[in-house]
Structure 1
Amino acid sequence: MARIAIDREHGLLTVEFQGLDKLWTLKSRLEIPLTHVRGATHDPGIAREPKGIRVGGTHLPGVITAGRFRRDGERVFWQVKNPGKAIVIELADAETYDRLVVEVDDPRAAVALIDRSISHS
């Protein structure tokens, strides 16, 4: 599971991975400038989307998708075990990823936090 935090002072969206997710994703956290965040949505159906080629991380279909994937030129970072809690964070001018697909404890609250933060940046 991921924890989403907003640092308004530094203009950053932080996605911090908890427990074994650090191992599966090969990352402990991602920091994205708020100016690169276009929005977020709660999307339980995203888990059925083709993942593409795994660049680094873990993929056990139906169990976990975690790490970096490429599909049709798009770079996507995944961290999902429970698709019902998946959110998609769309990025613009991304240096590393086009989208982040992460599992959070409360998808609606995370989406609202992100959307509020980018409307004020």
Structure 2
Amino acid sequence: MARLSVADGMLIVEVEGLDKLWALRSRLEIPLANVRGATADPGIVHEWKGIRLGGTHLPGVITAGTFRSAGEWVFWDVRNPAGAVVIELTDERYSRLVVEVSDPRAAVALVEEAKRGAAAS
């Protein structure tokens, strides 16, 4: 699971618990200017993940780490599809972050509100 927060113009994704081990990452910081948007998407777990380049993939159990799909880098940290949120990025190493959060609607609202606030500044 991951926790999202916003501070100093950055979207901060904190990977929690043992997921740090499975994903091989504990924290991602993305400038809000590079965040295109976020959506809750439990169905994304059924899509092809790509080639795993570091992390863990046990179908139906966990997908965590860095994957290469259709020429793009995607970061995953999902166990429970119901909590999956997709964050679209631009001008970053990753083109998308697919993370599980405790409240997908609140996470999407946080990202979208922070993005609007950054654009207004």
Both structures adopt the same fold (TM-score exceeding 0.5): yes
Q: List aligned pairs for 1:61-100, cutoff 5 A.
A: 61-94=59-92, 96-100=93-97
Backbone CA RMSD of aligned residues:
0.5
Unaligned runs of 5+ in 2: none
What is the one-letter code of the residue matched to 1:40? Answer: A
- Equivalent residues in 2 for 1:1-121 (5 A)? 1-7=1-7, 10-94=8-92, 96-121=93-118
Structure 2: distance between partners of 1:74 and 1:45: 19
Amino acid of the residue matched to residue 41 of structure 2? D
Amino acid at match of 2:48: P
TM-score, structure 2 normalization: 0.96
Superposed CA deviations along residues 12-64 of structure 1, whole A, max 9, x for unmatched, are 00000111011000011100011100000000000000001001000001100
Amino acid of the residue matched to residue 67 of structure 2?
Answer: F
- Give SS of 2:14's match: strand
Identity %: 66
Count of aligned pairs: 118
Q: What is the Cα deviation at residue 92 of structure 1? A: 1.0
TM-score (norm 1): 0.96
Unaligned ranges ≥5, structure 1: none
CA distance in 1, matches of 2:61, 2:20: 16
